[in-house]
Amino acid sequence: MKDTNKKWAFIFIAANLVLFLVFFAWPAILGVYYSLTEYNGNVATFIGLENYINLFQDSSFYKAMSRTFLYTLIGVPFVYVTSLFVSVMLTSKHTKGKNVAKVIFFFPWLVSPIVVGVLWRWMFGESFGFVNYMIQLIGGDPIPWSSNGNFAFLVVLFATAWGGTAFNMLIFMGALISIPKSLYEAADVDGGSGWQKFLHITLPSIRSTSFLVILLAVFNLMKEFPMVQSLTNGGPGTDTTFIVQYIYETGFDQMKVGYASAASMVLFVILLVFSLIQFKFAKGGRVDE
């Protein structure tokens, strides 16, 4: 009986397995091989670990990497707080116009990240952007949104939160609605304030959801590319160039495919470490209630 189940299980995943091997495992192995070669797109020459040795001495690689970490470190809490705040507001019984608000907050999820970038670029364009135009109308000095590295970084963070809220909001709202009402009623009886209820009932009840949201956000932000590409193109200079864009530029603009493969292997290892940590905490995918 048990064996029959296993057989059927394999049969059901077979198609996926083949696709996985052909379109994921095989290219990944090729990537490992390319990372050990000097490859310009035409001829690959085996050079051993030279790419890795050069990579770990390359200051632009470290800059892209540290920018990515900084972006993740600030961006993830930011995304988490905004989506949770929006979800709490949208599930609160005191809020008016929830349906309209849901549609508005969900809208960014419907457009491609590239469009998100273009929209924000249009709003925060330095010379003729909408925001600077408004600032000048009320008599202020225009802000160097794109030529100052810190402002550009800030704009990227805002755009990330704007684009990422929709999906997380859906997950949070599901979790918030399923918190038993009796807990809040009991707190009301004991005279708990709104803030106390949030801290002692809401947050603990959505712990596993929070965990999921944070992990997904970490992965998404570590791999951010299309939105930033169209928003700042990594600029000014390389101030918002994150690791995936760095890999793209070395691989396709400078045609150093081997070198870029080595960089992606490093990214792969970092993401793998994050997944293992997640696996450990989530106990191998079992959701703990």
Partner 1 sequence: MKKTFLLLFVLLSTILVACSGNNSESNGESGSESNGEKMQFYVSGDTVEGSALTKMSEKYTEETGVEIEVVDVPYDDMVTKITNMMRAEEPPALARVTGFNPAWNGKLMDLTEVAEQNNVMVDMGITVEDKLVAPPLDLTAVGMFINKSLFEEAGVSYPESEEEVWTWEEFLNSISTVVEETDAQYGMVMDNSEHRLNAFLYQHGSKGFYPDGDEYTTNEETEDALQRFIDMNDNTIMPKAVWTAGEDASSMFKSGRVAAYMSGSWQITDFASNIEDFEWEAVYMPYEDVRATNLGGNYLVGFEGSGQEEQAREFIDWLYQKENYEELATYGGYLPVTEDAEVEYELAQEAYQLYQDEIAASDPIASQQRNELVVKQLISQRSLGSSLADEMITTLNDEQSLDEAIENVKVEMTEAYID
Residue in 67, 66, 216, 239 with CA at minimum distance from that of residue 151: 239
Q: Is 144 in the site for partner 1 (CB under 8 A)?
A: yes
State both tokens at 175. 């979790």
Per-position x/- string for 27-56, each x denoting binding to partner 1 as judged by CB under 8 A, each - no binding: -------------xxxx-------------
Residue placing its CB nearer to partner 1 in the complex, 125 or 192: 125
Among 35, 82, 209, 232, binds partner 1 (CB under 8 A): 232
Establish if 149 lies at the interface with partner 1 (CB under 8 A): yes
- CA 236-242-243 angle, to 5 degrees, is 140
Site for partner 1 in 174-213 (CB under 8 A): none
Q: Rounded CA gap, 41 and 198, in Å?
A: 56
Provide the minimum distance between the beta carbon of 110 and partner 1 in the complex, in angstroms, as a whole number: 25
Please say whether the dihedral angle defined by the alpha carbons of residues 200, 203, 205 and 208, taken in this order, is positive or negative. Answer: negative
Minimum CB distance to partner 1 smaller for 17 or for 276:
17
Binding residue (CB under 8 A) for partner 1 from 239, 243, 247, 263 = 239
Which of the ranges 48-56, 90-98, 108-116, 122-130 carries the binding residues for partner 1, by CB under 8 A?
A: 122-130
Q: Is 288 in the site for partner 1 (CB under 8 A)?
A: no
112 binding partner 1? (CB under 8 A): no
* DSSP symbol at 24: I
What letter would DSSP give residue 143?
P
If phi > 0 it is left, if psi is from -120 to 50 it is alpha, else beta; for residue 191 that is: left
Q: Determine if 226 is a binding residue for partner 1 (CB under 8 A).
A: no
The reply to whether 245 sits near partner 1 by the rule CB under 8 A is no
Give the type of residue at 281: F
- Whether the CB-CB separation of 119 and 227 falls below 8 Å is answered with no
Tally the C-alpha atoms within 13 A of residue 52's C-alpha that lie toward its C-beta: 12
CB 232 to partner 1: min, Å: 6
Alpha helices of the chain — where are they, by DSSP H?
A: 2-20, 26-34, 50-55, 59-91, 98-110, 113-123, 130-137, 149-177, 181-189, 194-197, 203-205, 207-222, 226-231, 243-248, 257-281
Smallest gap from residue 55 Cβ to partner 1 (A): 16
One of 93, 96, 128, 141 touching partner 1 (CB under 8 A): 128
Give least dist CB 53 to partner 1, A.
16
Within 10 angstroms of residue 183's Cβ, the number of other Cβ atoms is 15
User: Closest CB to partner 1 among 1 and 100?
Assistant: 1
Task: Write out the residues near partner 1 by the rule CB under 8 A.
Answer: 3, 6-7, 10-11, 14-15, 17-18, 22, 40-43, 125-128, 144, 146-147, 149, 152, 232-233, 235-239, 253-256
